[in-house]
A = this chain, B = another copy of it.
Amino acid sequence: MRARIRLPFFQDSSKRIATAGLIESTFDLKGGDMKIAVLGTGSVGRALAGRFAELGHEVAVGTRDPAATLARGDYAAWAAERPGIALAAFADAAAGAEVVVNASSGAHSLAVLASVGEANLAGKVLLDVANEMTPSDGLPLVGANETASLGERIQRAFPSARVVKTLNTMNFEVMANPALVAGGDHTVFVSGEDAEAKRVATALLEQLGHTDVLDLGGIESARGAETALAFWLRVRMALGHNRFNFKIAR
């Protein structure tokens, strides 16, 4: 069964997602009434969970061991200010959700999603915002390349999930608060096989304040968004801070 959500702000949004291949959505999204599970309790997960809750969504954060997470000072302090946000084991957080956000670190994402289980992902929009990196002597090495991406691996491993790769091309603060950079005048990308899932993703991105959502195509195009991290890291070194983003001038 598909989530039933309304998207009233779709109609009056002046900037539309690139429409190639999009079908009419059966989803509707009211201002903020979705059930969103955010997997991951790090800076990315907290930034997105916090903003989605502010926007009125019902948010559950998923973690491996809720008791251990609550025993962490950083999480406990953050959660204390946000009593409306639930904390649950990965599978429990995702079970009741309409949208699942993979905000786990890329190296662990497949294991995290395996512990969620495909039954808890089936038919759901799965926003994959993760990047895979491994440390090196210099800058971290990016896991994606031109023939493989984490987004694709997730889609292959969980074929009934409706994976949308997005938001991974920017710092977590910019993900959640795009207006922090150039008043929000920059670009976020979506890649995925399911046009309706990309519509839901676009609606949520616009709620966050993203003004230019560019549909890169199928999940294969996540290779572009994921390999961009090697570029992003060097721009970050040059600027000396994270408060920037790619804009596709056109």
Contact = CB atoms under 8 A, between A and B. Distances in A.
A215 interface: yes
A157 interface: no
A233 B224 contact: yes
Contacts of A145: 145
Interface stretch (A5-13, A103-111, A117-125, A240-248): A240-248
Contacts of A142: 146
Q: How many identical chains are in the complex?
A: 2
Interface string A16-30: 001010000000000
Interface in A111-165: 138-139, 141-142, 145-147
Residue among A20, A224, A227 with the most chain B CB within 10 A?
A224
A184 to B, nearest CB: 9
A238 B215 contact: yes
A250 B146 contact: no
A223 B214 CA distance: 25
Contact of A214 (B214, B235, B249): B235
A174 to B, nearest CB: 9
Given A145-B145, A146-B141, A234 B247 contact: no
Interface of A: 18, 20, 138-139, 141-142, 145-147, 181-182, 185-186, 214-217, 220-221, 223-225, 227-228, 230-235, 237-240, 243-250
